[in-house]
Amino acid sequence: MDSPARPQIEAWLRYFDDLGLGPFYLDRAAVELPSIAPAQAAAAQAGARSRLPRIAAGAPSPVPPRVQDAVLPVVPSLFDAMPRVEGDSLARIREDIGDCKRCRLCEARNTIVFGDGDEQAQLVFVGEGPGHDEDVQGLPFVGRAGKLLTQMIEAMGLRREDVYICNIVKCRPPGNRQPERDEVATCSPFLDRQLAAIRPRVIVCLGNVAAQTLLGTNKSISQFRGQWFDFRGSKMLATYHPAFLLRTPSAKSEVWTDLKKVMAELGLKPPKPKPRSA
Ligand code: SF4
């Protein structure tokens, strides 16, 4: 559509999507999602390595519902059929991406935004795709939404460099539009490999696209936000995207509720407030 109204229409569509009211064209017959690799759980736990404190032995831990147990009409996740690469590492994955031209998102990008943070992180945040600032700097979540994400991480008692941050697609969709399904399908294997290489204890999906992609559901995030799922041995929870919080500050309390669940899972306590100077 070539119309002066296009940017406004796109902004509204993104707003509704953040609210979980879209994307409308994705709705289709629901099927049951197959089990998500329970055998990975033991390996993930045994291999987890991080500066983050562990949950003490015997301490209560939230038991996530398995995806197929949740009341979610879902479609098979893109990740279910993906084979594992033995001995994989983030460096090797980045090398394999190369100067990627596997999908049309390569045409308008400046930089491939691979991901950033601790390769041994116990906590990974997955967003949708790079925006303008990310495309320029080559780093995820560095714009206004990124600053808010950094504040959220610090409110959890962590530093940004303690976690790993990445996106579903590595190249900026033109005009910050939502990535198309075929673009997500083409780029997702790299995210799958990143998550398998890091083996985090917790994955937090930021926004509808990340949550729908990892869970393989067409349902809106508002229907399962804050619930625990099992994703290939990691616990996974979806919450609202920081960009949505910039537009809808009233939703911050819901996101903080979700992040407190993550903190409990990781045995984190919020940092003590700094004493006021006299
Ligand atoms: S979005 Fe992913 S698959 Fe598409 S060009 Fe960029 S790196 Fe390649």
pLDDT attached to residue 63: 42
Written in H, E and C, the secondary structure of the chain is CCCCCHHHHHHHHHHHHHCCCCCHHHCCCCECCCCCCCCHHHHHHHHCCCCCCCCCCCCCCCCCCCHHHCCCCECCCCCCCCCCCCCCCHHHHHHHHCCCCCCHHHCCCCCCCCCEECCCCCEEEEECCCCHHHHHHCCCCCCHHHHHHHHHHHHCCCCHHHCEEEECCCCCCHHHCCCCHHHHHHHHHHHHHHHHHHCCCEEEEECHHHHHHHHCECCCHHHCCCCCEEECCEEEEEECCHHHHHHCHHHHHHHHHHHHHHHHHHCCCCCCCCCCCC
**Pocket, ligand 1, Cβ cutoff 6 A:** 97, 100-103, 105-106, 112, 169-171, 183, 186-187
Residue nearest to atom 8 of ligand 1 (CA): 100
Of 33-47, 88-102, 150-164, the range with the lowest mean pLDDT is 33-47
Q: How confident is the model at residue 83 (pLDDT cuts 50, 70, 90)?
A: low
Greater pLDDT, 96 or 84: 96
pLDDT attached to residue 50: 43
pLDDT beyond 50 at 53: no
28 CA → ligand 1 middle, Å: 26
pLDDT beyond 80 at 86: no
193 CA → ligand 1 middle, Å: 14
pLDDT attached to residue 8: 65
Q: How confident is the model at residue 271 (pLDDT cuts 50, 70, 90)?
A: confident
Q: How confident is the model at residue 198 (pLDDT cuts 50, 70, 90)?
A: very high
Greater pLDDT, 68 or 156: 156
pLDDT beyond 50 at 38: no
Mean pLDDT, the chain, integer: 80
Amino acid at 208: N
pLDDT beyond 90 at 56: no
Q: How confident is the model at residue 12 (pLDDT cuts 50, 70, 90)?
A: low
pLDDT beyond 60 at 45: no
pLDDT beyond 70 at 35: no
Q: Give the position, in ligand 1's atom list, of the atom nearest the Cα of 100.
A: 8
pLDDT attached to residue 21: 46
pLDDT beyond 50 at 24: no
Q: Which of 114, 182, 186, 193 maximizes ligand 1 atoms within 8 Å of its Cβ, making it the mutation to test the pocket? A: 186
pLDDT beyond 70 at 2: no
Give the model confidence (pLDDT) of 210-252 as tens digits.
999 999 998 999 999 999 999 989 999 999 999 999 999 999 9
Q: How confident is the model at residue 171 (pLDDT cuts 50, 70, 90)?
A: very high
Residue nearest to atom 3 of ligand 1 (CA): 187
111 CA → ligand 1 middle, Å: 10
